[in-house]
C-alpha cells in the first residue's frame, strides 16, 4: 500500500468483508505497506483500506478455486483538510453598546473554584483593578456612633477597593434590588454559590442606572425554577486532620467545619405570571478550638549563659569566628570545633555575647515555668 508519490504507508487499517455473509477480516500494513489476509472460502469480497490523513479506498475482488491468491496494489489519496476555528468572546471586554467595563462569572466557574467559606464575594479580587482593603473593620465604631456587625455575619461582605475607590463606595444588587447595608457599606445578602446563576462586577464607566456609587457595581442574579424539577446538594468539610500545626503550638487546635445544603427549583406556580418556584439552603457548623500558641523561651539559667541542662549542638563556623572566640576565651579555638568542646561545662560567658543578641534577649519574655498563678498575675500588673 502506498500514496500517490509511491511512499509506503505503514499501520494502515485493512478490512476484508464478504459480500454474502458480511463477515469482516482485519489486518494492518507493515513497515513496507504490505499486508496479508486469509479468507476461508472463495467468493466475492470487498477490501477497504484506511489510514490517518488519507481518503479510504474500496476495491472489490473475486476469489475462485483456480485463483485463490490475489495481489493488490492499493494507492491512497490524501484526505481533504478542514479546519474549524471557534472564537468565543471573553467576558472581560468593552461592551459594544455601552462604555462600561466588567467581567461576568457564571455558576460553572464559581462552583469550580475552591472557596473557603463559599462566598461569591471572594471571587471579586480575581478581576483586574480590584484589591483587598481593610479600612473598614467588622464591629468598628462608625461616624454614626454605633458599633455595627455586618448583616452578612461571618461571610465576606465584599469590602474591596475597586478602581482605586474606597471599599465603602461600591454598590451591591441582588436580582436588581439594592442589597447594600448602610454601615460598613458591604453586601447584606450573600447567597450560597449553588443558588447563583451569575454575578458581574462593573469596574468603571458604568451606565447612569447604576448611580450612587463611585467605586464598582456588583450585580448578582440567582437561579430560578423551570419546566421540570431540578436541584443540587453539597457538603464541604474541613477538619483538624487536614490542617497544619501552628509553628508555635505543641498540638493542633480542634477545627471542624461542615457546610452543607442544596437547591430546588420546580414548575411554575402561575404560568400566566411567569412565577416559578426556587429555593436554597446552606448550613454551617463550626467547632474551633483555642490555639494557645505556647512557645519555649530561655529559662532563667539560660538567660545567664548556663546551658548545662541543654546539650549544645553545632560547631564553630569559619576562621574569623574562631579567632574572635579565641580572643574572648583566652585559649585557642579552631574552625569546625564543636561547641560542646569549646564550652565543655555548657556555660557561655556573657562577655562573648554580641550586642544584637543582648538586645534580642531583653525583648524575649521571662519564662513562667514553675511560677504560680498569683506570681504570674503580679508580674503582669
Question: For residue 328, is it left (φ>0), alpha (ψ between -120 and 50) or beta?
Answer: alpha
What percentage of the chain has pLDDT greater than the value 70?
A: 78
Q: Is residue 267's pLDDT more than 80?
A: no
Highest-confidence range of 91-105, 200-214, 354-368, by mean pLDDT?
354-368
pLDDT at 77: 84
Q: Please provide the CATH number assigned to the domain covering 2-76.
A: 2.60.40.10
Q: Is residue 234's pLDDT more than 80?
A: yes
pLDDT at 358: 83
**Interval 288-321: pLDDT, tens:** 887 766 667 888 888 888 888 888 888 888 898 8
Task: Give the pLDDT band of residue 114 (cuts 50, 70, 90).
Answer: confident
Span of 223-227, 291-295, 355-359 with lowest mean pLDDT: 291-295
Q: 278, 222 in Cβ contact below 8 A?
A: yes
- CA gap 206, 13 in Å, rounded: 60
Highest-confidence range of 228-232, 336-340, 364-368, by mean pLDDT?
336-340
What percentage of the chain has pLDDT greater than the value 90?
A: 2
Q: Is 0.85 surpassed by the pTM of this model?
A: no
Task: Give the pLDDT band of residue 203 (cuts 50, 70, 90).
Answer: confident
Q: Phi first, then psi: give them for residue 241, nearest 5 degrees.
A: -65, -25
Higher pLDDT among residues 149 and 53, named by residue: 53
pLDDT at 349: 82
pLDDT at 73: 79
pLDDT at 146: 47
pLDDT at 236: 87
pLDDT at 33: 83
Task: Give the pLDDT band of residue 204 (cuts 50, 70, 90).
Answer: confident
Measured CA angle at 166 (ends 146, 149), to 5 deg: 30
- CA gap 190, 233 in Å, rounded: 18
The domain spans of the chain are 2-76, 101-222, 232-288, 300-367
* CB within 8 Å of 368: residues ≥ 6 apart: 376, 379
Domain 101-222: which CATH class? Answer: mainly beta
What would the mean pLDDT of 34-63 be, rounded to a whole number?
81
**Helix (H) / strand (E) containing 356:** helix 355-363
**Interval 135-148: pLDDT, tens:** 655 545 444 444 45
Amino acid at each position: 500500500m502506498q500514496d500517490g508519490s509511491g511512499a509506503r504507508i505503514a499501520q494502515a487499517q485493512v478490512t476484508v468483508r464478504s459480500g454474502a455473509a458480511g463477515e469482516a477480516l482485519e489486518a494492518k500494513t507493515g513497515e513496507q505497506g504490505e499486508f496479508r489476509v486469509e479468507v476461508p472460502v472463495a467468493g466475492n469480497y470487498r477490501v477497504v483500506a484506511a489510514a490517518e490523513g488519507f481518503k479510504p479506498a474500496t476495491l472489490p475482488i473475486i476469489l475462485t478455486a483456480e485463483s485463490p491468491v490475489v495481489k493488490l496494489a492499493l494507492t491512497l489519496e490524501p484526505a481533504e483538510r478542514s479546519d474549524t476555528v471557534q472564537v468565543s468572546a471573553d467576558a472581560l471586554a468593552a461592551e459594544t453598546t455601552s462604555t462600561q467595563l466588567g467581567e461576568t462569572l457564571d455558576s460553572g466557574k464559581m462552583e469550580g473554584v475552591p472557596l473557603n467559606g463559599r462566598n461569591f464575594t471572594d471571587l471579586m479580587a480575581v478581576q483586574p483593578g480590584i484589591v483587598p482593603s481593610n479600612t473598614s473593620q467588622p464591629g468598628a465604631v462608625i461616624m454614626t456612633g454605633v458599633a455595627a456587625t455586618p448583616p452578612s455575619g461571618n461571610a465576606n461582605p465584599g469590602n474591596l477597593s475597586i478602581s482605586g475607590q474606597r471599599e465603602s463606595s461600591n454598590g451591591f444588587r441582588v436580582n436588581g434590588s439594592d442589597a447594600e447595608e448602610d454601615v460598613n457599606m458591604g453586601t447584606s445578602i450573600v447567597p450560597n454559590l449553588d443558588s447563583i446563576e451569575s454575578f458581574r462586577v462593573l469596574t468603571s464607566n458604568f451606565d447612569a442606572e447604576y448611580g450612587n456609587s463611585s467605586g464598582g457595581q456588583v450585580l448578582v442574579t440567582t437561579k430560578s425554577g423551570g419546566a421540570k424539577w431540578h436541584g443540587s446538594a453539597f457538603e464541604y468539610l474541613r477538619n483538624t486532620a487536614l490542617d497544619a500545626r501552628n509553628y508555635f503550638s505543641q498540638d493542633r487546635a480542634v477545627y471542624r467545619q461542615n457546610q452543607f445544603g442544596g437547591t430546588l427549583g420546580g414548575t411554575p406556580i402561575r404560568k400566566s405570571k411567569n412565577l416559578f418556584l426556587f429555593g436554597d439552603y446552606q448550613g454551617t457548623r463550626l467547632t474551633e478550638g483555642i490555639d494557645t500558641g505556647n512557645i519555649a523561651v530561655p529559662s532563667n539559667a539560660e538567660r545567664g549563659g548556663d546551658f548545662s541542662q541543654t546539650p549544645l549542638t553545632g560547631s564553630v563556623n569559619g576562621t574569623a569566628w574562631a579567632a574572635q572566640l579565641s580572643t574572648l576565651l583566652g585559649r585557642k579555638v579552631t574552625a569546625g570545633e564543636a561547641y560542646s568542646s569549646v564550652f565543655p561545662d555548657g556555660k557561655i560567658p556573657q562577655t562573648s555575647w554580641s550586642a544584637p543578641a543582648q538586645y534580642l534577649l531583653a525583648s524575649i519574655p521571662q519564662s513562667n515555668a514553675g511560677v504560680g498563678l498569683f506570681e504570674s498575675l503580679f508580674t503582669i500588673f
